[in-house]
Structure 1
């Protein structure tokens, strides 16, 4: 992996899509995707995630304005998948019936805009603490467990061969656990609850090869929600080949309930309802498999916290944000202990 300084230098060479030269390049990219010359209006930078920078782009069309989203890699760590792969996965997922933001265009190196993609702007709120609490989304929360289960069942329905031409990593659950344990040992911090979780999971994780593609980060925060329910599944950068339980268990991890702890499925639903809806939509998973993958999901989040803390403490990536998230290791330790002891959380 390149060091942060060199990556940031490379990122600094990219054209700014809100300034003249960058805006011209962006107009060419959008026009290529739409198949016609376009005039851009306002290009407004939005808040983004840890690895992406995002802009809202106004395209003048006839007497009206169409809004698109321009998103590119913008962090010290390159995203695990190039944008063109993410775009192709999302497009194929959409064809399977998963609600996604339609792809307009993918940037090429000669565009000077970086590893980037343009999509249609979808309606909906992504900030989970808002749609989990605001009264306007009450009806949406009632439907969301079923809608998420159906979206995941459709995504998981395609065999691994459906994705064979794409450079996707994958493997068995046992392999995922082994790689995570190697990171844990390399960091060299002993967390007894993590030791317990690794020991609990080792004989229970599947040894069999991947059976489907998983989103990899399907959770509250990566869903666009309208008052009517699920509008789109976003952020496909962690997609890979695995088994259905990984997506379902991750959705149940405590971190994605945002304080709504009594609703284990993303802060809005129950495990029983999720399993029932997933099976009704054609998916196959047992209660025991969901429990194992929920333990893994919480451990995976705990390992993320531990790695962020290590980034800061080691001096590799000094960051107050990483240090603060790293402190949540203790929360995950408590969650894992309770989940393993009582089978619920």
Structure 2
């Protein structure tokens, strides 16, 4: 994938080895795809004795062009689990785990014929009913038993341990950054003082946003890009979606939409109204962005040190500044309501 001009031959040889029932394999087209945020993406059209198939290759960039470090083997193992559970995500077929055949570690999966959600929305596509579809998409993979997820995924011992670790990540990020960012420590204290009611831990996508969603012909969401997946509080995916939607609309979880979304999600999962509501979604809007903030700050620092040559690492620092403008007003507005929810939870216990 690092040398696109060689890929038709390399991919054809790789597929012939991986799928011996395919005879006369020929890569009729190979195109580098735009839109890959942290990985190399390409579309290949392959003909063989049984027909024609469109595939996507997703692989690691060169070491000095890596924006964030993630594990292709873990992504491969996880997507195979998702495929077995019928989650709406492209089918993964092959994996070059060493880079020996495709030039870098890479997954080979189906090309999705669904419509990218952001262009669909930008062109005026109807958003009616999509809050419920969003809840269904999240609930589908949140329901996968943790025991069936790849063994290399870290399992927190408890909800309290997990949330404490996520809050401490704000403090660790502040400590590790090259300049002082007191807002990170302030937000850690606020998050600690306003913890919501716990819920069972589940698989989290980790980058659940409109840019990673496709809309199928029958109106369901298909989910892409699982490289940041982990095990944690499922409400982080909700909060992260809402956070990104502030900068890249539409926000399906606006005031009215969030109520519809939460009601459908509770119906599908059995969680209660104290656990899943617009206020807890907003709490996780703040908590859930720290992983991305940390990676963006690390990318900017690596660029300054000369170990990362991606101009995007500098540009992405704007996203951190945008976050600053959101966190404090959100904390001021949510604090009293979260206190009320905590009191209601104590009364019902």
Q: Could you state the TM-score of these two structures normalised by the residue count of structure 2?
A: 0.79
Contact 2:145 2:202 in 1 (8 A): yes
SS at match of 2:193: coil
SS at match of 2:152: coil
Corresponding residue for residue 83 of structure 1 = 72
Give CA deviations for 1:238-270 in whole Å, capped at 9, x if unaligned.
Answer: 1111121121211111x3344537x363x7972
Contact 1:69 1:120 in 2 (8 A): yes
Corresponding residue for residue 7 of structure 1 = none
- Which segments of 5 or more consecutive residues in structure 2 lack a partner in the other structure? 157-161, 336-349
Corresponding residue for residue 346 of structure 2 = none
2:284 equivalent to 1:293: yes
RMSD: 3.1
Corresponding residue for residue 27 of structure 1 = 12
2:153 equivalent to 1:168: yes
- Which segments of 5 or more consecutive residues in structure 1 lack a partner in the other structure? 1-13
Contact 1:150 1:278 in 2 (8 A): yes
2:59 equivalent to 1:69: no
Matches within 5 A, 1:1-345: 16=3, 18-19=5-6, 22-31=7-16, 32-33=18-19, 35-37=21-23, 38-61=25-48, 65-76=52-63, 77=66, 80-109=69-98, 110-126=100-116, 128=118, 130-135=119-124, 137-138=125-126, 141-163=127-149, 165-171=150-156, 172-205=162-195, 211-226=201-216, 228-253=218-243, 255-260=244-249, 263=251, 265=253, 270-282=257-269, 284=271, 285-287=275-277, 288-343=279-334
Q: Could you state the TM-score of these two structures normalised by the residue count of structure 1?
A: 0.80
Aligned equivalents of 2:105 and 2:151: distance in 1? 17
Corresponding residue for residue 3 of structure 1 = none
Q: Bigger shift: 216-225 or 87-96?
A: 87-96
Q: How far is the alpha carbon of 1:174 from its aligned partner? A: 1.2
SS at match of 1:281: helix
Contact 2:171 2:185 in 1 (8 A): no
Q: How far is the alpha carbon of 1:279 from its aligned partner? A: 1.2
Give CA deviations for 1:208-250 in whole Å, capped at 9, x if unaligned.
Answer: 8972211111111111235653452110101111121121211
Contact 1:80 1:237 in 2 (8 A): no
Contact 1:53 1:72 in 2 (8 A): yes
